[in-house]
Amino acid sequence: MDLGLTGKRALVCASSKGLGLGCARALAEAGVDLVMNARGAEALEAVAEAIRGDFGVEVVTVACDVTTEEGQAKVLEAAGAVDILVNNAGGPPPGMWPDWERDDFIAALDANMLTPIALIKALVPGMMDRGWGRVVNITSQSVKSPIPVLGLSNSARAGLTGYVAGTSRQVAGKGVTINNLLPGIHATDRADSLDKGVADREGISVDEAKAQRCATIPAGRYGTKEEFGAACAFLCSQHAGFIVGQNILLDGGAVNATL
Ligand code: NAP
């Protein structure tokens, strides 16, 4: 399928690895020029060079922490008038509800709620003026089904979800869609570190922890960043203009719900 994206330009935040990288590569494959971001410059430049070689698109890299005001200013300067924004950042650390203080919540809100909101506020007006735009926020299945050790994520991402529900309906009339992709467990560094957390807590091996977590997924495996990227590219495509304010689970069936 031709996604109709050739020559578009996208800002993909937190994209040197994992789900962000999956989105960046799928968009590049569809002919989209990229502004890519991560904190570590070396890994970021390496994947950018691979994308230039594989797909022949333009890739600008911005090494910074996108959850800070300075980082946001840097990515926005490099982004200019982008057509597509993919919001992403590292997830909050695991823990349990009695442990978290105000500062822990502020950090989670900054990273996983207020950063995407700031980038939406900065970039969507230009998309509306030009009559076309796509925003995809990488959130989590924890929005639909809370994960006990990820209460900071459950909370901050629920806040972003509420913001998107309202805002997406206020901008759709100008050709701009905002949607959320909700990953269940995907095979990335983040999943490896959560596997290790389970192994440490339960005194089992990492392989046993992974097998335990796979058993909770009807598909019987972790998702891949390529599958996730393909879903993101479709949501950004010309064919997805009628999908507005949705929360789309990519979880292999893990959330046991009818709707
Ligand atoms: P990952 O494999 O650890 O990759 C994270 C990427 O984001 C890296 O490129 C990292 O590069 C970059 N990054 C992290 N913090 C950043 C920051 N403050 N500023 C700029 N770049 C930053 O993680 P992932 O599995 O792809 O997860 C992506 C998001 O999806 C996270 O919010 C995670 O909580 C959520 N999620 C993941 C899963 C899963 O199973 N994988 C499930 C549900 C939700 P640097 O370290 O160099 O900055």
Any ligand 1 atom below 6 A from CB of 157 = no
* Residue identifier of the C-alpha nearest atom 25 of ligand 1: 190
| Confidence at residue 190, expressed as pLDDT on a 0 to 100 scale | 84
DSSP symbol at 186: B
Q: Are residues 111 and 193 in the same domain?
A: no
Q: Compute, in angstroms, the gap from residue 26 CA to the centroid of ligand 1.
A: 17
- Residue appearing with tokens 């192994």: 199
pLDDT score for 164: 98
In this structure, are 198 and 209 located in the same domain? yes
Measured from the CA of 194, which atom of ligand 1 is nearest? Answer: 40
Q: Does residue 1 fall inside a structural domain?
A: no
Name which of 9-13, 31-35, 125-129, 188-192 the model is least confident about: 188-192
**Assigned domain for 180 exists:** yes
CA of 89 to the centre of ligand 1 (A): 5
Quick one: 40 and 145 in the same domain? Answer: yes
Given phi > 0 = left and psi -120 to 50 = alpha, else beta, which region is 245?
A: left
In the predicted model, is pLDDT for residue 133 greater than 90? yes
What pLDDT score was predicted for residue 212?
93
> Residue 87: CB within 6 Å of ligand 1?
no
**Closest C-alpha to 194, from 98, 108, 90:** 90
Number of H helices, E strands in the chain: 9, 7
Q: What is the pLDDT of residue 144?
A: 95
Query: Which tokens hold the place of 85?
Result: 């924004």
CATH of the domain at 242: 3.40.50.720
Residues 206 and 102 grouped into a single domain: no
Q: How many domains does the chain have?
A: 2
Taking residues 78-106, report their average pLDDT.
96
Residue 143 beta carbon below 6 angstroms from any ligand 1 atom: no
Q: Are residues 76 and 26 in the same domain?
A: yes
Residue 170 has what pLDDT? 98
Instruction: For residues 97 and 134, state if they share a domain.
Output: yes
| Single pTM value for the model | 0.97
Distance from residue 229's CA to the centre of ligand 1 (Å): 14
* Count of other CB atoms within 10 angstroms of residue 215: 9
Location of structure tokens 């309906």: 169
Quick one: average pLDDT of 106-113? 98
Average pLDDT over residues 139-144: 96
- Whole-number pLDDT of residue 202: 92
> How high is the pLDDT of residue 250?
98
Long-range contacts of 72-77 (CB under 8 A, 24+ apart): 72/115, 72/118, 72/119, 72/122, 75/11, 75/13, 75/35, 75/37, 75/119, 76/119, 76/122, 76/123
Q: What is the pLDDT of residue 151?
A: 95
pLDDT band at 219 (very low <50, low <70, confident <90, very high): very high
Same domain for 141 and 202? no
If you measure from the C-alpha of residue 15 to the centroid of ligand 1, how many angstroms do you get, rounded to a whole number? 8
Can you give the pLDDT at residue 152? 97
- Please tell me the distance from the alpha carbon of residue 228 to that of residue 217, in angstroms, as a whole number: 16
Range of the domain at 98: 9-184+224-249
Answer yes or no: is 258 within a domain: no
Indicate if the pLDDT at residue 194 is higher than 90: no
Confidence of residue 227 (pLDDT cuts 50, 70, 90): very high
Instruction: Tell me the three state secondary structure of residue 175.
Output: coil
Percent with pLDDT over 90 in the chain: 96
